[in-house]
């Protein structure tokens, strides 16, 4: 990746150029990267975790880690791949540490009296899909999210997940099989 222009100056319009400038202390360059990618990072974390507040925390932690490591950054891959790798690691670590909280109270049942029938069916379907995704092992879940929600290629997912494209294929195949079984009643 050539980040030096013909005048010998760093290219500070590319993501990689902005990251290199960040490593030299340019916080304005880092701010541009955050503006470009915070929504994408949040979306990936939210889809993985299903909680907006946790997704925000993960996104902030990811950018903080990237800023902390900026001096050591080497543009061996696209910045977006680097960002998704950091978000993925944090999400998987977070899900491994996450323990369910139990309380003596049962959650309140929502009042469906004022909800149109189609809206209820859509919400039920969405809940079933979310629940099926949540039951997948973390690496399968992240692979599904990167492929089908972020639209990434196998090679990019492999780089993010630090595995091979063939392993990504297998993860997706197992995830699809599990999801088909979990969602069979919904598909009938």
DSSP letter for each residue of 35-67: HHHHHHHHHHHHHHH--HHHHHHHHHHHHHHHH
CATH code at 1-76: 1.10.1740.10
Using a cut of 0.95, tell me whether the model's pTM lies above it: no
Interatomic CA distance for residues 60 and 108, integer angstroms: 31
| 52 token code pair | 């907006």
The pLDDT, as a whole number, for residue 105 is 41
Q: Report the SS3 class of residue 71.
A: helix
| Sites in the chain below the pLDDT cut of 50 | 1-9, 100-115
CATH architecture of 118-183: Orthogonal Bundle (1.10)
The pLDDT, as a whole number, for residue 186 is 75
Residues of the chain with CATH 1.10.10.10: 118-183
């Amino acid at each position: 990746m050539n980040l030096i222009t013909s005048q010998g100056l760093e290219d500070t319009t590319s993501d990689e150029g902005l990251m290199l400038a960040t490593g030299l202390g340019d916080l304005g360059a880092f701010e541009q990267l955050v503006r470009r990618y915070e929504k994408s990072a949040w979306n990936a974390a939210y889809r993985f975790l299903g909680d907006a507040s946790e997704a925000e925390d993960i996104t902030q932690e990811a950018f903080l880690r990237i800023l902390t490591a900026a001096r050591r950054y080497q543009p061996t891959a696209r910045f977006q791949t680097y960002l998704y790798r950091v978000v993925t690691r944090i999400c998987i670590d977070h899900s491994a540490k996450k323990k369910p909280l139990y309380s003596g109270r049962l959650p309140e049942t929502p009042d469906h009296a004022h909800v149109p029938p189609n809206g209820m069916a859509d919400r039920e379907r969405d809940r079933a899909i979310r629940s099926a995704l949540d039951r997948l092992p973390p690496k399968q879940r992240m692979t599904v999210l990167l492929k089908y929600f972020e639209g990434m290629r196998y090679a990019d997912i492999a780089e993010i997940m630090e595995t091979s494209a063939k392993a990504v294929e297998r993860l997706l195949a197992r995830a699809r099989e599990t999801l088909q079984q979990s969602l069979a009643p919904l598909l009938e």
